[in-house]
Structure 1
Amino acid sequence: MLEIIEQTKLLFDSLYDGILIIDKNGVVKYINSSYTRITKVKEEEILGKFLIEARPGSSLTTAMNNREIKLGVHRKMGDVEYLVNMVPIFKNGVVIGAISLVNELRDIYKLTEKLNLSKIIIQNLQEHVKTLGNGKYSFDDIIAVDRKSIETKEFAKKIALGDSNVLITGESGTGKELYASGIHNYSARKEFPFIPVNCASFGKNLIESELFGYEEGSFTGAKKNGKTGLFQLAHGGTLFLDEIGELEYGLQGKLLRVLQERSIRKIGGGNEVPINVRLICATNKNLEKMVEQGTFRRDLYYRIAIMPLEILPLRDKKDDIIPISKRFIYELNGKYKATMELDESALIMLCNYHWPGNIRELRNVIEFTFNMTEENLIKASDFPDNIKNEDDFKNEILPLKEKISQMEKRYIKNTIDFFGDTVEGKKKAASSLGISLATLYNKLGK
């Protein structure tokens, strides 16, 4: 069944070109104001009626039934002359309706200009429809084996069931966008857009126009017909503002107003446009400290941090390292049609490293080593030097013998953690380290 959601209506209603949509039975389900302006037909004369009865000369129903695209079809009704592009609408390979894009025809120059514009619009509409409701990740993509990770994931699911704004905090590379997308796809908004924006990747003026849009002629270089902002495109869904701490102070005030009024005003525009958007923000900065320093608005902080979610660094959830590493290997094997594996020495070394770059660094190391290893088995010796030479001095200067003993004991304990703190686990740890069980106990007792 063909349904036109509010987000799509909002998009179509803003177009200068006429839009007409029929369902699979040929009944007119939607026309925009531009269609009535160009064709001079009244809404009550056509909406809800069979198109071939309301507009006998129309060939949209035939194009739909024949599953064909027709471009640049010339139509003349009385003194009204225009061009029509006709495209069937498919869902899972089945035709569920068709759409007409109508362009007014006045002279040859305008004809060429309109034809080019309609092709661009059709392409953009198709791409836009593809992305509606498409958060890239779900909670199934989040590996949580460590107890702390499991607790974080379960808490995120509870957050998703509500509709309050969310602030995700954590070090760089911990997977904040993964959780933001997971929350969206677990929420009641999952059928609507998920739009991610990195606040650090835009300049002050550009980020404002991206978020709120602008009217035609509002500034030098503004596009003809203006621009729809990301808040409008996210209507009904979720807007994810990554690196919110990078947002310029003056723009923070405008964002606060949007959250309070639940409406936006385009740059150069005077009308308020209602929006229904859930906001998820993320940062690796300490926003509370920024508030105290006067670089982040206190009132905005309380607006965006209604539901705070902290993503722990990888070093604090060691039990996730092995399954995440194996997932990366699995994905790379599929990509390159390989059969690469990680041996025990590699797994132990991965668990012992402190991962300052978190999951992003782990992925980088795994992919680098995967491509540099000639055999089908990755060993500890295959890793980059910074992984192999991990050594936390912690500002201590000790006699060399004592430092070596300290490092040795720590390495043994990490190996036991890997195999399990049981008699059987210690036997496996001793075997992996190439020492007897008695020697292992002896070194732990020093």
Structure 2
Amino acid sequence: MDLNAGARAAFDAMREGITIIDTEGRLVFCNRAYLEFLRKELGEPLDHIEGKYLRDLRPGARLPEVLKEGKPILHITRQEIKDFYFVNLYPIYEDGILTGGLSVVTFLEDAYQAKEELEAVEARSQQLLRRINKANGARYTFDDITAVSPATLQVKELAQKVAATDATVLLESESGTGKELYAQAIHNASDRRDGVFVAINCASFNANILESELFGYVEGAFTGAKRGGKIGLFEAAAGGTLFLDEISEMDLGLQAKLLRALQEHTIRPVGSIKEVDVDVRVIAACNADLQAYVADGKFRKDLYYRLSTFLIHVPPLRERPGDIPALARSILEDFSHKLHRPFTLTEDAVSCLQAHNWPGNVRELRNVLEFSAYLTPSGVIDREALPNDLTRIRETAGLTLAQRTSAFERRVILNLLERNGSSLEGKKKTAAQLGISLASLYNKLSANRS
């Protein structure tokens, strides 16, 4: 086996020690780094060692072993009298025929330097992630949550207490109530506030893609996998918070993997056989009745109990009309900055907003106020400036007595719930005050919602 001048020069330029032997175990080449290593270990000058048997110089050398097995021997840790080093050993084939062996020695000093460089890169990456997080991640705090009605005050107080823990949280409410607002506020009030906040909507991906998004994958895991693999959100959110929105839409098979991640604090990237430790807090959210999903077999019972360590129910806007004036003022303040002019609401407009059912909740309220703000040059939003579907007087002439009664009962219940709170205890108290069962209260609430 012959090495040309170019190959020798390239090997001599390396900091790693390079040794090549032929099939008889004789030295074909040693680069300068390895020669220097041998001089220190043997305590004698070495000039012309090519052609000598490697084991005559170093009886414990393992490079000849690859000649017998024909396979690499990797990640060996060795310690001699003066040096500590790491070795990878490889067989050399030419046209399918074994012609020798090659060893690559990484010395302790270089390994430490590489480790320090990696740690420096990681530190810079964490700093960058924190800056990105502050700019684009969890922007909202509990100061951004408007709470006037007793129901909302109770929820906000519970969320603040939960934020001080590191427990998993389940936010359960209708769409548009501000569940991500609560998730960000919990993150920013927790000990993980300096970590990243990563959010993903589980309903936006099929099961296979969602799995690779959450857990990552290794190179070659599937057709189209990126070279070098991809880190998953569990690892990307290390030290921070992972927000899983619309958790109810996650595939049952993937639910089992999520449960294991929550219980064991480890994940397995797609295509990998190794477990990866993860340090992340999970906040989940859904706008569906998860207990009904469990009963229907669409959601794992064990995962539901694991997620609902702290269950926070954000009441829909129709159950907290007392919040509407403050919410409207806060939203209009945002539009004032955006449009560079002040906005105010008349009492008649506020009454109209409070009388609306708000199926789209706070998101719908924001859209309504944006519509009115753009179409109100004076900045004073009155009843006439609101969309027609909010100001249209409901015709009652065609309603039956039962329908009118149902609508009246529902308004009475909502007024009591605003005082008592929309928690289970608040609903029980309301039912008791009205002299009806809890089941009847739920039935009357669901009647005539539109």
TM-score, normalising length: structure 1: 0.62
For 2:391, the equivalent position in structure 1 comes to 388
Q: CA deviation at 1:375?
A: 2.4
Q: CA deviation at 1:273?
A: 0.4
Q: CA deviation at 1:137?
A: 1.0
1:390 and 1:239 map into 2 onto residues whose CA distance is: 45
* Superimposed CA distance per residue, residues 346-379 of structure 1 (whole angstroms, 9 cap, x where no aligned partner): 1111111121111000000000111122322111
Task: Indicate which of 200, 203, 214 corresponds to 1:200.
Answer: 203
Going from structure 1 to structure 2, the CA distance change for 1:237 and 1:129 (only over 3 Å counts) comes to: closer
For 1:289, the equivalent position in structure 2 comes to 292
- Counterpart check, 1:42 vs 2:43: no
Aligned pairs for 1:160-171 (under 5 A) are 160-171=163-174
Going from structure 1 to structure 2, the CA distance change for 1:130 and 1:378 (only over 3 Å counts) comes to: same
- Counterpart check, 1:268 vs 2:281: no
For 1:131, the equivalent position in structure 2 comes to 132
Q: CA deviation at 1:313?
A: 0.7
Task: Indicate which of 211, 214, 218 corresponds to 1:211.
Answer: 214
Q: CA deviation at 1:131?
A: 2.7
1:250 and 1:393 map into 2 onto residues whose CA distance is: 50
TM-score, normalising length: structure 2: 0.61
Q: CA deviation at 1:128?
A: 3.1
* Superimposed CA distance per residue, residues 307-326 of structure 1 (whole angstroms, 9 cap, x where no aligned partner): 10000011111111001101
Q: CA deviation at 1:136?
A: 2.0
Going from structure 1 to structure 2, the CA distance change for 1:157 and 1:394 (only over 3 Å counts) comes to: farther
- Counterpart check, 1:231 vs 2:269: no
- Structure number with greater Rg is 2
How many percent of aligned residue pairs carry the same amino acid? 42
1:375 and 1:38 map into 2 onto residues whose CA distance is: 75
For 1:432, the equivalent position in structure 2 comes to none
2:395 and 2:144 map into 1 onto residues whose CA distance is: 32
Q: Which amino acid aligns with 2:129?
A: H
- SS of 1:214's equivalent in the other structure is coil
Going from structure 1 to structure 2, the CA distance change for 1:309 and 1:393 (only over 3 Å counts) comes to: farther
Q: Which amino acid aligns with 1:161?
A: A
Are the equivalent residues in 2 in contact too, given 1:138–1:185 (CA < 8 A)?
Answer: yes
Q: CA deviation at 1:182?
A: 0.8
Are the equivalent residues in 2 in contact too, given 1:353–1:390 (CA < 8 A)?
Answer: no
Q: Which amino acid aligns with 2:110?
A: K
Are the equivalent residues in 2 in contact too, given 1:213–1:227 (CA < 8 A)?
Answer: yes
1:317 and 1:348 map into 2 onto residues whose CA distance is: 13
- SS of 2:138's equivalent in the other structure is coil
- Counterpart check, 1:303 vs 2:371: no
* Superimposed CA distance per residue, residues 132-166 of structure 1 (whole angstroms, 9 cap, x where no aligned partner): 46422110110111121111101111111111111
1:158 and 1:139 map into 2 onto residues whose CA distance is: 11
- SS of 2:203's equivalent in the other structure is helix
For 1:181, the equivalent position in structure 2 comes to 184
Q: Which amino acid aligns with 1:313?
A: P
Extract unaligned runs of 5+ from structure 2.
Answer: 1-104, 419-450
For 1:339, the equivalent position in structure 2 comes to 342
- SS of 2:273's equivalent in the other structure is coil
1:267 and 1:45 map into 2 onto residues whose CA distance is: 32
> What is the aligned-residue RMSD (CA, Å)?
3.4
For 2:331, the equivalent position in structure 1 comes to 328
Q: Give the number of aligned pairs.
A: 303
- Counterpart check, 1:156 vs 2:224: no
Going from structure 1 to structure 2, the CA distance change for 1:164 and 1:129 (only over 3 Å counts) comes to: closer
- SS of 1:227's equivalent in the other structure is coil
Going from structure 1 to structure 2, the CA distance change for 1:323 and 1:226 (only over 3 Å counts) comes to: same
Q: CA deviation at 1:251?
A: 0.7
Are the equivalent residues in 1 in contact too, given 2:140–2:185 (CA < 8 A)?
Answer: yes
Q: Which amino acid aligns with 1:170?
A: S
